[in-house]
Amino acid sequence: MFVSAIAFVEGTPKVQQIVEAFSQAIENGEWAPGSKLPSVRELTQTLGVSKFTLNEALDRLRGRNLLTSSQGRGYFVAADSVRPALAAWVELLPQDLLSVLRRPLATVYGDLRPGGGHLPEAWLDSEAIRQAMRSVVRAPSLRIAGMGTPAGLLPLRQALQQKLHGEGLSVSVEQIITTPNTVQGLDMLMRLLARPGDTVLLDTPCYFNFHANLALHGVKVVTIQRRPDGFDFAALEQLLAEHRPSLYLTTSVLQNPTGHTFSPGQAFRLLQLTQQYACHIVEDDLYGDLHPNPPPRLAALAGLDQVTYLSGFSKSLSANARVSFVVAAPQLAANLTNMKLMSGGVTSELFEQIVYRMLSEGSYAKHRKRMVQRLMEAGGRVEQWLKRCGCELPMGYEGGMFIWAHLPPGVNGEQLAQEGLKQGMVLAPSTLFGYDATHRDAMRFNVAHSDDPQVQQVFEALSRSATCRSELARE
C-alpha cells in the first residue's frame, strides 16, 4: 500500500488532518479492505510527524472501525470499512418536491443560503461561546458523571427568571423548565395539552415543523392567515366558534416566516377572543431577542393560565449548543418536569452552564445588541435589492432574521427553488410553510445570508430567467 505525504495546514491539529486524510482514502476505496498499512516507523518518516502523533491518529481510526490492528503484525484496513454510498440512503427518504426542497434548509448544503433558518456562524460570538465553554469545563461544579436536574440547572433558571422579569413576565423559578430545544419542548407540551382528535389552530404561513410535529400527535389542524394587520378578526372568531380549537400555537414577535409582530391592539383582540372560546395559547418566542424594541409578549399580557411560553437560544446564540425553556402555570410546569424525567428528556447540564455563564456575565446581552443592530442594517440593504428585483414586501421589515416577499409576476417559487439548488443556492418558497398552494409567488429570505452580492446576483439571474419563461409561455 502506498501512503502519500500530507500537506499539513496550520491551525488544525496534525492528528485531525491525518485522521481525515486516512478516512477519505479508506471511504473512497483507495485503500482496499484488509490491506496492510506501512509500519509505524515508515509512516512517521513519510508524514514527518512524531510516533505519539501517529499513534493518536491510528487509535482514532480504530475507534471509527476503519482500521484494525494485530500485535506484532501492524495495522490493517478493516474488512467492513467501505461505506455504502450516500445516494442509497437518500433514495429511502421522501422524494416529493417539498421534502426535497425542505432537506437543504436543515442541513449544510450549498454556499448560498438565503432561505436558511439560522444566522451564519460569522455573525455569532463564537469566541464568547468558546470562552464560556472552557470556563465551564474547568469548573468543579460541572458534574461529569451525573445527570442534569430534571427541571433544569437552578442558576440558569434563576438567570432566566431575571431576564423574563425585565420583559414583563414575573414568575417563580419553579415555573421555568429547561428543554433540549424548542421543538422537543413543544412536543412534550403537546403530549400534556392535547389528545388525538383535538383541534389545534396554526397561522398560515408558519414554521413547517409545526405541521410535522402536530401530525405525530394525531390532532386536527385548522389555520388562519397571518396578515400585516394581524388577522381578519371576524374570520378568526368564526373559526373559533365553528372548530373550537383547544390550542393555538403561534409566534407573537417576529413570526417565522413572515417576520410579523403583533401590535398591542392586535394582541389584545387575539387574547380576548381566545379567552372567550377557551383556546389556550402556546407562544413560541424563539425570535423575540432579535427585535430591536419588542412589545410585551402574550404571556406577559394575559398570564400563564391562558398562555404557555416557549423560548430558547438556538437562533440568537448557537444552533448547535442549544438550550430552550418553557414557562408555564405551576401544575403544568410540575407535569412537564415529571415528563422530562420519565422520558429521558433531561437537558445537557454542560450546555445549560454555558448559557448561564453568558447570561450572568453579560456577554449574551452584548452579543444580542450587536446582532440586532447588524440585522437592522442588513435588512435595509436586502429590502432594497429585493425591490429592485421586482419583489413586493407586504409585511415591511421590523427587524429579525426574515423578510417575506412576493416574487415578480409570473415567477413560481417552487420552480425557482429547484433551479436554485442546481446552483448551490437554498431558497425557501412559501409552500414549505403551509401557505395556500394557489399562492406560489412568495418566499422567505434570511436577512443575514441574503446581504451578499453573490446571492443578489444569482437570485436576480434566476428571477429574470423565470420571468422570461413565463412571458414566453403566455405568448
Domain count, the chain: 3
Q: Domain boundary residue among 310, 342, 361?
A: 361
What is the full DSSP assignment across 255-279?
-TTT-----HHHHHHHHHHHHHTT-
Would residue 8 count as lying in a domain? Answer: no
For cell 454542560, name the residue.
350
pLDDT value of residue 26:
87
CA 17 to chain centroid, in Å, comes to: 29
C-alpha cell at 383: 429590502
Residues 161 and 28 in one domain: no
Q: Domain boundary residue among 307, 328, 361?
A: 361
Would residue 31 count as lying in a domain? Answer: yes
Query: Could you report the per-residue pLDDT of 412-421, keeping only the tens digit for each?
Result: 898 999 999 8
Residues of the domain holding 421: 97-117+366-473
Q: How many whole angstroms separate alpha carbon 112 and alpha carbon 93?
A: 24
Q: What backbone phi and psi angles, to 5 degrees, belong to 445?
A: -120, 130
Residue 88 pLDDT greater than 60, yes or no:
no
Residues 323 and 398 in one domain: no
Residues 336 and 433 in one domain: no
Amino acid at 157: R
Residue 149 belongs to domain with CATH number:
3.40.640.10
Average pLDDT (163-191) is 95
CA distances from 461 to 26, 61, 93, 411, 466 (A): 41, 45, 31, 12, 9
- Per cent of the chain over pLDDT 90 is 64
Residue 427 pLDDT greater than 90, yes or no:
yes
Q: Where are the alpha helices (DSSP H) in 7-125?
A: 14-27, 40-47, 51-63, 86-90, 97-106
Query: Could you report the per-residue pLDDT of 242-279, keeping only the tens digit for each?
Result: 999 999 999 999 999 999 999 999 999 999 999 999 99
Residue 30 belongs to domain with CATH number:
1.10.10.10
For residues 92 and 273, which has the higher predicted lDDT (pLDDT)? Answer: 273
Map 128-178 to HEC letters.
HHHHHHHHHHHCCCCCCCCCCCCCCCHHHHHHHHHHHHHCCCCCCHHHEEE
C-alpha cell at 42: 515508515
Residue 349 pLDDT greater than 80, yes or no:
yes
Q: Domain boundary residue among 361, 396, 418?
A: 361
Residue 83 pLDDT greater than 60, yes or no:
no
pLDDT value of residue 472:
67
Residues 266 and 309 in one domain: yes
Average pLDDT (280-308) is 97
Q: What is the mean pLDDT of the chain?
A: 90
Residues 150 and 232 in one domain: yes
Residues 285 and 381 in one domain: no
Q: How many whole angstroms separate alpha carbon 149 and alpha carbon 349?
A: 8
Query: Could you report the per-residue pLDDT of 93-115, keeping only the tens digit for each?
Result: 677 767 777 777 777 666 799 99
pTM above 0.85, yes or no: no
Residues 42 and 131 in one domain: no
Q: How many whole angstroms separate alpha carbon 36 and alpha carbon 73?
A: 9
Could you tell me the pLDDT band of residue 347, with boundaries at 50, 70 and 90? confident
C-alpha cell at 297: 409578549
Residues 220 and 309 in one domain: yes
C-alpha cell at 417: 427553488
Query: Could you report the per-residue pLDDT of 298-337, keeping only the tens digit for each?
Result: 999 999 999 999 999 999 998 877 899 999 999 999 999 9
